[in-house]
Amino acid sequence: MIDRRWHSVLLDVRSFRGADYDTDQYLVITKVRERLAMGKQASERYDRQRFNLRKLNQLEVRKQYEIEIKNRFADLENLNDDEDVNRTWENIKENIKTSAKESLGLHELKQHKPWFDEECLGFWIKGSGLKCSGHRIQAKAMQVI
């Protein structure tokens, strides 16, 4: 009954028919092996700097960036042509990055608000209090905080 992709992940599956939860379904407990894989792109993503490219729409900033690039590439023309291609590429890349960082600045990431706040907790406690008579769920909710 398990998809072929997930058959090696499940270690143990048991159903408890006697568990009474006031429903027509059975309680199922599984032991799962967790496998986490980090892709190559994810590790490279953190090293990248994101520049604020929207500033290029402003005429003054665009001209300043063009002037900086021209000045830096003028310095590169004076270098030897006998250098390694990889070393030349690294020089070009670093010049572009530093001029973009100076004139454009870095892109600031948005700070996301947590979706489960005090208001949600209040609704959850109120709803669980209506479903169950007793204070077990409310006590568990207070432990979550």
What are the beta bridge partners of residue 14?
29
**What letter would DSSP give residue 7?**
T
Please tell me whether residues 61 and 92 are part of one structural domain. Answer: yes
Residue 81 lies in a domain: yes
Centre a 10 Å sphere on the Cβ of residue 51 and count the other Cβ atoms it contains.
18
* The pLDDT value given to residue 1: 63
User: What is the Cα–Cα distance from 91 to 73, expressed in whole angstroms?
Assistant: 10
* The pLDDT value given to residue 13: 87
Residue 19 lies in a domain: no
Low-confidence ranges of the chain (pLDDT < 50): 133-134, 137-138
Residue 34 lies in a domain: no
User: 97 lies in which domain range?
Assistant: 56-103
Give the number of domains in the chain: 2
Residues 19, 27: contact at Cβ < 8 Å? Answer: yes
* The pLDDT value given to residue 85: 83
Centre a 10 Å sphere on the Cβ of residue 14 and count the other Cβ atoms it contains.
9
* The pLDDT value given to residue 127: 74
Q: C-alpha 69: how far from its chain's center?
A: 32
